[in-house]
């Protein structure tokens, strides 16, 4: 199968070529035809599978005909980074079409967004809060929307956005094409799908398990040796972009600082940063200025750096879904990657859950030459014994590690 088989306009085929895509990914091959036919689609696929083009290309194709200057496609995403990325992707694919896309998320001045709407855009990509804000101010008119995309629906649910998403959906015409994407199908997402999709075609890729281009390994380690182990591991990995996950914003910042101190080109990304600094951290990581990015789950959602070679879970994620999403950052679009997870004795339950989801036992590795019996460094007590705060999630899930560490 090739991109020529979908019936895209030559202007889109030029965009596809410019992006360097030669063959459709599995989800593109399966899902683009029903989307092109105007059917509703439920796509069970994580980020990294090529799903943006699944909705992006048919949207651009449809909008080539018909009126300009009115919002005819709306994409709702859980995070600013994902919204920005989708917008960039659409702009690149549609570079020759003259169609205009704009982003709508919080943390930045609303006025330029209003001006863009006044000037006329056909595609709106945004996060629920700011989209609702525009709807309430009547600066965004969704009455002409023909295609609605709800991306990373499970993340939207995790972050407590479903009520807002429902309100946004109610502002769009009942007669529309709706496309929903989710890596997992918790009950609430199933419910939402039943409410908003009409006779949907379900397309599933990989059963929501991480891309099989990723190799996984666990590194058992005492809590107080995580940072020394990280440093030792990074020294052996050599080149390649590395994304390190911590459980809290504070730890992301601290670990980032420790890496810089040790001489690594590292930066951190966490929710406390102003949008400008988040973007600078992301851009620096994408461009290779920073080899290592230390981030929390929320800050890292939707990050698309196709060259990420390693994901290191400094702290175990609190759900198997979070593991899948973190690992989805590497091995993207059939590149191979490694996923290393530091595990302490307290993580045994979550290891079992993840192994069940992955359908096999994960390899346990020890780093040769690393002193696993070293005592806790005196100055590093916070990492050695400090109780971890409850799980840091906007959705307010109870933390499984809220209890003080031994």
Spell out, one character per residue from 18 to 37, where the chain touches ligand AMP: x when CB under 6 A holds, - when not. Answer: ---x-xxx--x---------
User: Minimum Å distance from CB 82 to ligand AMP?
Assistant: 8
Nearer to ligand AMP, 6 or 21 (CB): 21
User: Minimum Å distance from CB 328 to ligand AMP?
Assistant: 8
Quick one: tokens of 74?
């709306």
Nearer to ligand AMP, 23 or 194 (CB): 23
Q: Does 182 bind ligand AMP (CB under 6 A)?
A: no
Q: Does 43 bind ligand AMP (CB under 6 A)?
A: no
Among 49, 84, 319, 341, binds ligand AMP (CB under 6 A): 49
Contact region with ligand AMP (CB under 6 A), list: 48-56, 68-76, 100-108, 158-166 = 48-56
Please choose, from the candidates 102, 17, 123, the residue with its C-alpha nearest in 3D space to the C-alpha of residue 60.
123
Q: Does 47 bind ligand AMP (CB under 6 A)?
A: yes
Contact region with ligand AMP (CB under 6 A), list: 16-24, 239-247, 281-289, 390-398 = 16-24
d(CA 84, CA 242): 21
Q: Does 178 bind ligand AMP (CB under 6 A)?
A: no
Nearer to ligand AMP, 321 or 347 (CB): 321
Q: Does 53 bind ligand AMP (CB under 6 A)?
A: yes
User: Minimum Å distance from CB 24 to ligand AMP?
Assistant: 5
d(CA 56, CA 102): 14
Strands 177-182 and 147-150: parallel
Residues 253-312 that bind ligand AMP (CB under 6 A): 304, 306
Among 48, 210, 228, 256, binds ligand AMP (CB under 6 A): 48
Nearer to ligand AMP, 50 or 317 (CB): 50
> Exposed, middle or buried: residue 361 (CB in 10 Å: 0-12, 13-18, 19+)?
exposed
d(CA 14, CA 50): 18
Among 50, 58, 210, 331, binds ligand AMP (CB under 6 A): 50
Tell me the site size for ligand AMP, rule CB under 6 A.
Answer: 16
Strands 214-220 and 201-204: unpaired
Residues 319-378 that bind ligand AMP (CB under 6 A): 332-333
User: Minimum Å distance from CB 283 to ligand AMP?
Assistant: 15
User: Minimum Å distance from CB 51 to ligand AMP?
Assistant: 5
User: Minimum Å distance from CB 44 to ligand AMP?
Assistant: 13
Q: Does 87 bind ligand AMP (CB under 6 A)?
A: no
User: Minimum Å distance from CB 241 to ligand AMP?
Assistant: 13
For ligand AMP, the binding residues (CB under 6 A) are 21, 23-25, 28, 47-53, 304, 306, 332-333
């Amino acid at each position: 199968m090739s991109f020529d088989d979908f019936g895209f306009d030559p202007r889109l085929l030029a965009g596809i070529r410019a992006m360097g895509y030669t063959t459709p990914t599995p989800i593109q091959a399966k899902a683009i035809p029903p989307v092109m036919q105007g059917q509703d689609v439920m796509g069970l696929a994580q980020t990294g599978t090529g799903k943006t083009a699944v909705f992006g290309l048919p949207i651009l194709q449809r909008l080539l005909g018909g009126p300009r200057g009115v919002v005819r496609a709306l994409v709702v995403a859980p995070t600013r980074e994902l919204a920005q990325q989708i917008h960039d992707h659409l702009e690149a694919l549609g570079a020759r079409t003259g169609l205009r896309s704009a982003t709508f998320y919080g943390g930045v001045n609303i006025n330029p967004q209003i001006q863009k709407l006044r000037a006329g855009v056909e595609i709106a990509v945004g996060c629920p809060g700011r989209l609702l804000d525009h709807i309430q101010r009547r600066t965004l008119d969704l009455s002409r929307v023909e295609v609605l995309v709800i991306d990373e629906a499970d993340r939207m649910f995790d972050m407590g956005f479903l009520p807002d998403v429902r309100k946004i959906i109610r502002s769009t015409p009942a007669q529309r094409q709706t496309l929903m994407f989710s890596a997992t199908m918790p009950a609430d997402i199933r419910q939402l799908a039943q409410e908003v999709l009409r006779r949907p075609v379900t397309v599933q890729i990989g059963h929501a398990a991480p891309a099989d281009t990723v190799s996984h390994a666990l590194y058992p380690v005492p809590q107080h040796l995580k940072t020394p182990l990280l440093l030792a591991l990074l020294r052996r990995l050599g080149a390649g972009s590395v994304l390190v996950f911590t459980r809290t914003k504070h730890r992301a910042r601290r670990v980032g600082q420790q890496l810089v101190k040790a001489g690594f080109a590292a930066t951190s990304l966490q929710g406390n940063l102003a949008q400008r600094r988040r973007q600078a951290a992301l851009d620096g990581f994408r461009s290779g200025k920073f080899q290592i990015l230390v981030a929390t789950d929320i800050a890292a959602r939707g990050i698309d750096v196709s060259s990420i070679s390693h994901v290191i879970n400094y702290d175990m994620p609190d759900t198997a879904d979070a593991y899948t999403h973190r690992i989805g950052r590497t091995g993207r679009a059939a590149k191979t990657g490694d996923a290393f997870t530091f595990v302490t004795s307290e993580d045994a339950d979550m290891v079992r859950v993840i192994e069940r989801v992955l359908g096999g036992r994960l390899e346990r590795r020890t780093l040769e030459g690393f002193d696993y019996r070293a005592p806790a460094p005196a100055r590093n007590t916070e990492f050695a014994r400090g109780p971890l705060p409850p799980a840091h999630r906007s959705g307010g899930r109870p933390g499984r590690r809220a209890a003080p560490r031994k």
